[in-house]
A = this chain, B = another copy of it.
Amino acid sequence: MHNTGYTNTCTVYNSKLSCFEELTESELKIIEENKVIVNYRKGENICKQGSFASHIIYLSEGLVKVYLEGNPKNLILKISPSGNLIGLPSIYEGNNVFLYSAATYTDSVVELIDINIFKQLIQENAKFAYRVISVLNEHAVQIYGRFYCLTNKQLHGRLADILLCLAQRIFYEMEFDLPLSRNDLAELTGMSTESVIRVMKDFKDDGLIETSGKAIKIINYEMMNRISEVG
């Protein structure tokens, strides 16, 4: 029997769905009138776990990490490229804080939408709400997969996952400039920075990837994929 998913999973959340398509002209106008556009530099925090969630965040440009604050280490839940919403999970009755933090990997542009407006739209437009549910659940699949990988795969598998993932879902290329440090990769894969470096070296030595500076090129896609699958 073939496996039923999750094993070969990735880290990048990139929804194909936009909730906003389901909004009417007048509803869109309400959002337009209640949003603020903010620019962030690389490395800045755009929301902080535990702080008051006054806005839903739409990432219109850039690349961010969404992570849980922890002691001593953080845990990155997902990488989010532009076009996605951040902070949806903070919407539930009895809660008014962010469940996670987010910080930029690159210079980014963000639209802040008043959370009460957003909640109101959900409670008035069921089609919109259904889209929000879709987005949340798509996201859940991702997190589950990631959860499985971090608790079951070992280092080589996890790092292969991330590299393939970045190539396929962020850069759409087998060759790209990595905006993440080795330490970022470590947080992302739940391994130590040193281990990231060592495993990268293994991949290089085995001719699976080439690196120079920030540039990474996946040469042997087949093999990387196998490593990702085997764990």
Contact = CB atoms under 8 A, between A and B. Distances in A.
A6 B68 contact: yes
B49 A4 contact: yes
Nearest to A128: B126
Interface string A76-110: 01000000000011111111000110000000000
Contacts of A49: 4-6
A140 B140 contact: yes
A77 B133 contact: no
**Most B-side CB within 10 Å, residue of A49, A132, A133, A150:** A133
Chain A, interface size category, equals 35 or more
B7 A71 contact: yes
| Dominant secondary structure at the A interface | helix
Contacts of A143: 140, 143-144, 147
Interface of A: 3-7, 16-17, 49-50, 68-71, 73, 75, 77, 88-95, 99-100, 119, 122-138, 140-141, 143-144, 146-148, 150-152, 190
